[in-house]
Amino acid sequence: MDKKKDLLEEVKEKAKITEKTMGNTQNEPTVFVFSTGEKLIVSPPMWPKHELDIQPGDLTKFTPYGTGVYGYQKLDDTNPIQKAPIHEPSGGVVYFGSKVYKSDLSYEQCFLSLLYLLKVKVNWKDYAVFIIESQQPGKDGYLKQMRIVSRFALRFMFGAINEKEYDSFPEQELTIGQVLYKFLQDEADKWGTSWMKDKGLGGKFGGDGNYACEELAFGFMVENNYHRVYRIWSRAWLVTK
C-alpha cells in the first residue's frame, strides 16, 4: 500500500461511521480528484465520534471573528466598516472574476498575492475540507463551495478532535494555497471563463442568453483568521449589453 492509500485509510479509520449510528455509510471521507490529477481528502458533513454544537461541515453557518480568548465577535452585516475583526488583521469577503485584465501577473500570481495580503496560511497541509454543490445556484448564490478548516480550528474552535487526534491528524497532499487555486482551475475547466463560450452556465443565475449572460466568478472569505477557517465558492456575474 503506497503512502497516499495509507493516508486515506488512516483518515477513514478515524472517521468511520456505521449504518447503525448514522443510518448510512456516506459519512466517510472521500477522495476528490482535481482535473489536474491531485487528490484531496474531503471530510463528511457530519463529523464522527463527537457530539458537536456546530458541525465544521455545516456550510450554512459562518464562524465569527475572534480568538476565543476574549470571546468571539458578534456577526453584524449592517456596516462593513464597523464589522471588521477586532483581534485579527484580516477577514471578510472578496469577490473576483475568473480572468485578469492588463496585468503583468498571471491569474495564479494575482490570486496568491491576494491570499498573502489576507494572511492565509498558504503553506499549511494539516486541514480538513468540506465541499458542497448547489442544486439551485441562482437561489443559493453559488455553484460549488469549499470550506477549509485547519487542524487548529477543529481542536480549539469546534472541539471536533481531541488532543490525541490532534497530534496524529494526517496532512493533505496539497497545501492550502494549492488547493484553493486548484478549486479555481477546476471550476474554470468545467464552466469556462468567457460568457461568449457558454459551457452550461447560461441561465443558472437569471441570464437570458442575450442581454444578460453569465460568466464565471468567485468569492473568497476569511471566516476566522486566528483559527484559519477559509471558504471559497464559484458563482456567476451577469455580463450585460
Range of the structural domain that residue 9 is part of: 3-240
**Does residue 72 or residue 185 have the better pLDDT?**
185
Q: How many CA atoms lie within 13 A of 9 on its CB side?
A: 6
Q: What pLDDT, on a 0 to 100 scale, did the predictor assign at position 12? A: 47
Q: What percent of the chain has pLDDT over 90?
A: 61
Q: What is the largest CA-CA distance in the chain?
A: 58
**Residue 235 phi, psi (nearest 5):** -155, -165
Q: What pLDDT, on a 0 to 100 scale, did the predictor assign at position 70? A: 55
**How many domains does the chain divide into?**
1
Confidence band, pLDDT 50/70/90 cuts, at residue 73: confident
pLDDT at 15 over 60: no
pLDDT at 128 over 80: yes
Question: CB atoms < 10 A from the CB of 62, how many?
Answer: 14
Q: What pLDDT, on a 0 to 100 scale, did the predictor assign at position 2? A: 53
Q: What pLDDT, on a 0 to 100 scale, did the predictor assign at position 1? A: 45
Q: What pLDDT, on a 0 to 100 scale, did the predictor assign at position 104? A: 80
Q: Which residues contact 160 (CB under 8 A, 6 or more apart)?
A: 47, 50, 52, 56, 154
Retrieve residue 199's grid coordinates.
Answer: 459551457
Retrieve residue 225's grid coordinates.
Answer: 483568521
Q: 133, 148 in Cβ contact below 8 A? A: no
Candidates 62, 26, 233; CA nearest to 153 is: 62
pLDDT in tens, 159-192: 999 999 999 999 999 999 999 999 999 999 999 9
* Average pLDDT value for the chain: 85
